[in-house]
Structures are given as C-alpha cells and as structure tokens.
Amino acid sequence: MVPIDFPEDLVGQFFGVGSVGEDNPHTPLQYIQDIYVPYAYQIPNLHEEDMIRQFGSLVEGFEDDGNFILDADIHTYREITEEDDPLLPEKKYFHSMYLLFEEQKYRYFKMQTTAPATMCFSTRGSDGKQLVSPQMFRFYSSLMKRIAQGLADHIAPSVQNTIHCQDDPSLGYFIELVDSGQAGNLTVKHVVQSTDNLFPDEVIPAYHYCDDWRDLERDGWYILWDSRPKMIHIDLVSYNPILESEQSEKMNQFFEKGGGLALGVLPNVDDGFPDAVINVLKRNLDSTIVHFAKSGVSIELLGKASMVSTQCGLSRASSKLIKEIHTSSHKFPEIFMEAISKKL
C-alpha cells in the first residue's frame, strides 16, 4: 500500500470553501485570520467579487453588463495563450488576497481560483452563444494557470504551505455539452487532465465540486477518483455517500495514491442548524461515516486524509452563523477523530 501523504496536522481541520455572506471585505478578517487554515474569501455581495468577474476582468474585452460577455480577438487570444507570465487580479476584485497579508504570515493558507470549464460555461460571445469549444477551453486554461501562479507568487513570502483549490461548480453542465457534441472534439478526459495541470508547483492541490459527485463517471472512469490525487471537496449534505462497490473501491485506491477529502458535512444556510454548530457536526459526521463504511470505503484511510467543511460556500449564511462555524472550528479535529473511532 502506498503511504498517505496527506499532512497529518490537517486531519479534521476546517476547510473553508470561499464565499462568505458579508458586505464589508474587512469583516471576515475577524474570524478567518485565526483559524488553523486561513483562506482567501470572496464577497459575492460585492459586484467585482463574483467568481467569474474577478478573473475575467483581467482579459481585454471582457464585459459584465448582465451576462458575462467575451469577444476575444486574435490579439487577445494570443496574448493569453502564448505568454506565460503570472497574472494577479486587482485588490477590488479579490480583497482578501491583499487584506490577509498585511504583516501576516501563515503555516497553511488556502487560495481558490475558478476552474476553466466553469469559466467557459459561464461566459458567452456577443452573439449569445456559450464559449464552450477546444479553443476557448485552451484560452481559459491558459488564463487560469497564469492567475494561479500570480496568486501563488503573491502570497509565497508569507505562507509555508499553500492549498490551491480549483472551484468547478459548472463541470457537470460542461460535460453535458461535451457529451452532446456541442463542444467540438473536446473530451471529458482532456478537460479533467488539463485542469489537473494548472496547479502551480509546490502547492497542495484541491478541487471543489458542489453538484452530485457520485455521478461523475464515464465508462468505468471515475472523474474524481481516477484523476490526479488531490484534496477533493464534496457536498455530503445533499448527496449522501451511498455508493456502489466499484466507486467505493476507486475511492480507496484514491486514498492509497495520496488523495484526500474535504467532507462537506455542515449545511451552508441557517435553516440547516436546529441547534449549535458542534451538535450538527457530530450528527452529520456520524451519519456520513456510517454510510461510507456500509458502502465499503475504508474508514481507516478516510480518517487519515480528511478535513471538515460546509457543503458549499457561505454566501447565503448569516454573519452570526458564519462566525460560529469559524470560531468553533478548533474543536473539529477532536470531533472528527471521535466519529472515526466509532467505526474502527
């Protein structure tokens, strides 16, 4: 068995997804700077910090009145795809990547970028057509690789270990277009493998998918578990881990290759918390681990390579709930290990 290379001190720690439901970019500093793994948060309530706009703004010709529109001429296309110098969004598009580094240093830090498939799916040409094609996937892959490097370089002097998460909520829709022949000769495997090649060197790679992760399979190839080993964030509130044996075995192999999970067991809205965050976490972890065990996933491996998270970002949560989740997070590792020990 290949040994797990998941950092031992991250087991059970809180994995912050990204978006928070605040209006002031300074407010999250109060509760994010002091958690074990601070992260680059986004404020979707600010126009500029939409997950598409904050990166698309670096492209000449990108318009965001209503739909996200991009008509990239040959000059712009070549400028993005043929150059490789790092790119960095301005502060107004990504406040946290500046505010969190004012005389601060971190052992761990998580940054997040939007994956190229979601960038493609979310933008259209001025003719209203979606920009899903081999050419535009290459364009957005080049753009996001350069931005990822720019962000990594920006924080490198202040961070010992960087977790880089690619956020890809539209992957499922993108795959539907590929499967229906509306994306030229793009293949799903090419999209996944290309996305895996965008991580900067020397980061801990991570990936966020908030739809039904159990359905990401093509002819026996499991998109999440057969791709590059990384930390994968999945929604376990909406999608219980009730799995067929083949997928469970693929997950065990994924762990053995060095992959890990960010378990999205906490709801991301206030209505999901009938009582304290810690109590909800205990119940949901217990239930999730029982389902994993019944499905044949190794709880020993799961317990060595998992963090704890919300099911998705906290953009719709109240300030009160967001703060409670973060300030309670120092208790998460102990609660996680207690839940694991019940099934070992």
Stretch 136-159: mean pLDDT:
98
Q: Is 85 left (phi over 0), alpha (psi -120 to 50) or beta?
A: beta
pLDDT of residue 1: 37
Class of 8-341 per CATH? alpha beta
Q: What confidence category does residue 219 fall into, taking pLDDT thresholds of 50, 70 and 90?
A: confident
What residues have CB less than 8 Å from 155, skipping those under 6 apart? 97, 101, 109, 111, 162
Q: Are 129 and 179 in contact (CB under 8 A)?
A: no
Q: Is the pLDDT reported for residue 322 higher than 60?
A: yes
- Cα separation, 261 vs 343, whole angstroms: 18
Whole-number pLDDT of residue 66: 67
Alpha helices in the chain (DSSP H): 29-32, 53-56, 74-81, 96-99, 116-122, 134-155, 171-179, 188-196, 245-256, 277-295, 299-304, 319-328, 332-341
Residue 3 has pLDDT above 70, yes or no: no
Amino acid type, 116: P
Looking at residues 269-281, what average pLDDT do you find? 97
- How many whole angstroms separate alpha carbon 288 and alpha carbon 264? 10
Q: Residue 4: what pLDDT?
A: 52
Taking the alpha carbons at both ends of the chain, their separation in whole angstroms is 19
Residues 200-220: what's their mean pLDDT? 94
Neighbouring-strand partners of residue 209: 234
Calculate the average pLDDT of the chain: 95
How confident is the model at residue 152, as a pLDDT? 98
- Return the minimum-mean-pLDDT range out of 13-27, 76-90, 124-138: 124-138
Beta bridge partners of 68: 123
Among residues of the chain, what percentage have pLDDT more than 70?
Answer: 99
Given a cut of 80, is residue 110 above it in pLDDT?
yes
* pLDDT tens digits along 35-83: 999 999 999 999 999 999 999 999 998 987 767 999 889 999 999 999 9
pLDDT at 103 over 90: no
